[in-house]
Amino acid sequence: MNSLIDVENFSYWYSNTKKPALKDLNLKINKGERILIVGPSGCGKSTLILCISGLIPHSYSIGKIKGNITVGSENLQSTPPYHLKNKVGVVLQNPSAQLFALKVKDEIAFGPQNLGLPPDEIKQRVYFALEAVGMEKFAEKPLTELSMGQQQRICIASMLAFRPAIMVFDEPTSNIDLKTSRKILELIDQISNSHNITVIITEHRTKEVSKITERVIVLNNGEIAADDPQILKDITFCNKYGIQPIGVSLYRSLKAIKNSPRTLEVNNLSFSYDGNTVLTNVSFSIFEKESVGIMGDNGSGKTTLALLLAGILKPKEGTIVIDGKPIEKYKRKETIRKIGLLLQNPDDNILTTKVSNEILYAPWIQRLSDDEKAIILRDILDKMDLIEHRNKGSFKISYGERERVALSALLVSKPKILIFDEPTTGQDYKHKRLFINLAQKLNETHTLITISHDLEFLSAISTRTLVLDNGKITANQVNQNTAQNDSKRVTTESVLHSLVEN
């Protein structure tokens, strides 16, 4: 049988680089196959996605290509993906960055309009695509009113309007909570079945995605390291390449915190934006050197809570007390010595274009002398293992490194409490583990509050978990693995699971 996609001796170099991002790649993909591509950050996954979807060279054309990719019998380098007989649709990372129209139906109609199709045909395709993703009632809605999961559905629909034979997904669930991402994966499965679409997915959440894929390809340094559906069960292999193996959790044992003074107290906290209630009567307290996880789905009010705790938003009702004093009584200079907040996306935490300037932002604001700044910089670079990057550009370093830089910029103010808002979004297994180790180290000197929808990660990082659901705290649970009993580790995750399901 002839394969649908044929990658032959394919190499790719980005402009101004000597090392190829993809090296002599050979890959045959058959019609109807569903493939999961995994590998550590920088392994070439995203580049492969861009090449197979034709965005390289039809959108990004300044790199160098050797070899061929053919789809059906047509060469992808000479024909754009949307003009092929077997069309290729691509859904990139971060749905909100891909949508641009004002209304849902206009977003989906954009593709067929570009192909110059007649109005009736466009309308038919728009409603076909909306029906396929179960969003037919949302045709007239503005895109700004949609949730993350709904936006992802619209991204998928806007590609389905091309009637593609192949669909490529680059981390389709990286910004989405577990419940929603399961639904998105179900949807991909269903579309693939009912329209006979070949699916290629890259994803760090191997456990969930491998349920719907039948072939697993491991990429490393631009080469195929394995092409075996059973490979994710091979724990030594997975650890070598920094991929999350199936059936192993990020468990580590933690010490429960007892009898330490309360450092943060939240009493009857309520908050609303433009008349929409986000938090209602939230009360909890956190002890010194404790590591607390706050879990909740997208839109449950987690980020608002973080902004309130860091003193960026002001509470409408209720109080936040840090070390016996209400937060609004502190001056800004004093607040940053008490509490530091790392926002969700490390990119959003970057204010300057150079690593050393980024780290020294707070000392610069406080007008410390150059000598003082040099000492602070040396200490923090050493502690965070960033010395080799000190003179690099803030956006030239990897995602994980950028997060460490943003964290360093907080640590220079020596805050007692650190809040992490979704610190592992879009990060691979290796970085997740590195972050857990880093957090463990920081926990010796700091109180940690970690906000996440990743159950496994939370159960590995926190000694206690608060569950936030629709702006209310619905559970406040000491984690089982603090009992130092290995047999109970399954319970922690499953207990958290059951909390979420309810």
The distance of closest approach from Cβ of residue 18 to another protein in the complex, given in angstroms and rounded to an integer, is: 23
Question: For the window 52-81, what string marks contact with another protein as x by the rule CB under 8 A?
Answer: -x-x--xxx-------------------xx
∠ Cα 469 478 328 (to 5°)? 60
The distance of closest approach from Cβ of residue 94 to another protein in the complex, given in angstroms and rounded to an integer, is: 7
Q: Is 256 in the site for another protein (CB under 8 A)?
A: no
Q: Is 109 in the site for another protein (CB under 8 A)?
A: yes
Cα 56 to Cα 11, 27, 61, 76, 382: the distances in Å are 12, 17, 6, 9, 39
CA distance 203 to 36: 7
Q: Is 98 in the site for another protein (CB under 8 A)?
A: yes
Pick 245 or 423: Cβ nearer another protein: 423
Closest to 294 (Cα-Cα) out of 446, 469, 437, 411: 469
Residues 270-329 that bind another protein (CB under 8 A): 307, 310-312
Cα 373 to Cα 333, 342, 357, 401, 413: the distances in Å are 17, 22, 10, 21, 12
Q: Which single residue is written with the structure tokens 């309520």? A: 270
Q: Is 113 in the site for another protein (CB under 8 A)?
A: yes
Given the rule CB under 8 A, which of 35-43, 228-236, 276-284, 345-353 is the region that contacts another protein? 345-353
Interface with another protein (CB under 8 A), residue total 70
Q: Is 122 in the site for another protein (CB under 8 A)?
A: yes
Q: Which single residue is written with the structure tokens 């000190």? A: 390
Question: For the window 160-199, what string marks contact with another protein as x by the rule CB under 8 A?
Answer: --x-------------------------------------
Q: Binding residue for another protein (CB under 8 A) from 83, 85, 211, 325? A: 83
The distance of closest approach from Cβ of residue 456 to another protein in the complex, given in angstroms and rounded to an integer, is: 27
Q: Is 453 in the site for another protein (CB under 8 A)?
A: no
CA distance 278 to 298: 12
Q: Is 106 in the site for another protein (CB under 8 A)?
A: yes
Pick 264 or 455: Cβ nearer another protein: 264
Question: For the window 8-47, what string marks contact with another protein as x by the rule CB under 8 A?
Answer: ----------------------------------------
Given the rule CB under 8 A, which of 177-185, 408-416, 437-445, 473-481 is the region that contacts another protein? 408-416
CA distance 183 to 150: 11
Instruction: Check if the beta carbon of residue 500 is closer than 8 Å to that of residue 493.
Output: no
Q: Which single residue is written with the structure tokens 């209310």? A: 472
The distance of closest approach from Cβ of residue 354 to another protein in the complex, given in angstroms and rounded to an integer, is: 12
The distance of closest approach from Cβ of residue 240 to another protein in the complex, given in angstroms and rounded to an integer, is: 32
Q: Is 119 in the site for another protein (CB under 8 A)?
A: yes
Cα 333 to Cα 329, 366, 442: the distances in Å are 12, 8, 22
CA distance 469 to 276: 15
The H or E element containing residue 382 is: helix 370-383
Q: Binding residue for another protein (CB under 8 A) from 2, 62, 116, 370? A: 116
Query: What is the spatial order of strands in the sheet that 223-227 belongs to?
Result: 88-91, 166-170, 198-202, 34-38, 215-220, 223-227
The distance of closest approach from Cβ of residue 60 to another protein in the complex, given in angstroms and rounded to an integer, is: 8
CA distance 13 to 147: 37
Instruction: Check if the beta carbon of residue 43 is closer than 8 Å to that of residue 49.
Output: no
CA distance 72 to 198: 12
The distance of closest approach from Cβ of residue 351 to another protein in the complex, given in angstroms and rounded to an integer, is: 5
Q: Binding residue for another protein (CB under 8 A) from 37, 90, 130, 232? A: 90
Q: Binding residue for another protein (CB under 8 A) from 73, 102, 256, 486? A: 102
Q: Is 352 in the site for another protein (CB under 8 A)?
A: yes
What does the buried/exposed string (b/e) look like for 156-187 if buried means 16 or more CB atoms within 10 Å of the residue's CB?
Answer: bbbbbbbebbbbbbbbbbbbbbbebbebbbeb
What torsion, rounded to 10 degrees, do the Cα atoms 48, 54, 57, 63 define?
-10
Residues 226-245 that bind another protein (CB under 8 A): none
- Applying CB under 8 A, the residues found at the interface with another protein are 50, 53, 55, 58-60, 80-83, 89-90, 92, 94, 96-103, 105-106, 109-119, 122-123, 126, 142-145, 158-159, 162, 307, 310-312, 332-333, 336, 340-341, 343, 347-353, 361-362, 365-366, 395, 409-410, 413
